[in-house]
Structure 1
């Protein structure tokens, strides 16, 4: 008798229990999906204008990200401009120092071509130091 129970009844019971579990899991999944779908409508009833606020918040967040990226790009460009400006100011300082060091001696000052290249072509070519050949 015990053999018959294990042979016929137990497999049917196991299959029935598994089927019931799958059926309950499917119903729970459908219920959770229905609750998630009805949540915006429930919030709209409780808080009129809620969905517009959420949409505006999303739009503002996207706009804030784009503005942040733009600010970071401008910050990088400003850093490059500052470095170039610093190089030019240092070149002008070295040129002025060379002018003051050499002024009482020769007719024309002897200046470094690298410093002259940093600034515009405002210095006469005769003032630029010639490279030794």
Structure 2
């Protein structure tokens, strides 16, 4: 029984280390970075339109924008950002990429994304500001 716990413990630690939480970022960009940026900018714009039309509440908008930023980073760099904590995002370095901007954009959305209420006016960080931050992260990626 003790061997099983040891095996599970070690297996989960290797997965965490493999995702590169504090390691260097792979420097190889995706084959079609411009296309990837275009796709994510369209998805970010769709969130803005849904929020503006009242189809999506602020909380949901912030959650989706955070996921889009993290997913873009994963697709553009290979860093498994959707599974990383904010502290892990802040610790990522390398390849001249704007990881501090990624962490800032995600971090600023945290209060709104995790707020108890769903009404659009319950957050100090407005959806248009979050959309702009997410778009800036995607556009600035090299």
TM-score scaled by structure 2? 0.26
**Structure exhibiting the larger radius of gyration computed from Cα positions:** 1
Higher helix share: 1
Q: Which has the higher contact order (CA 8 A, sep 6+)?
A: 2
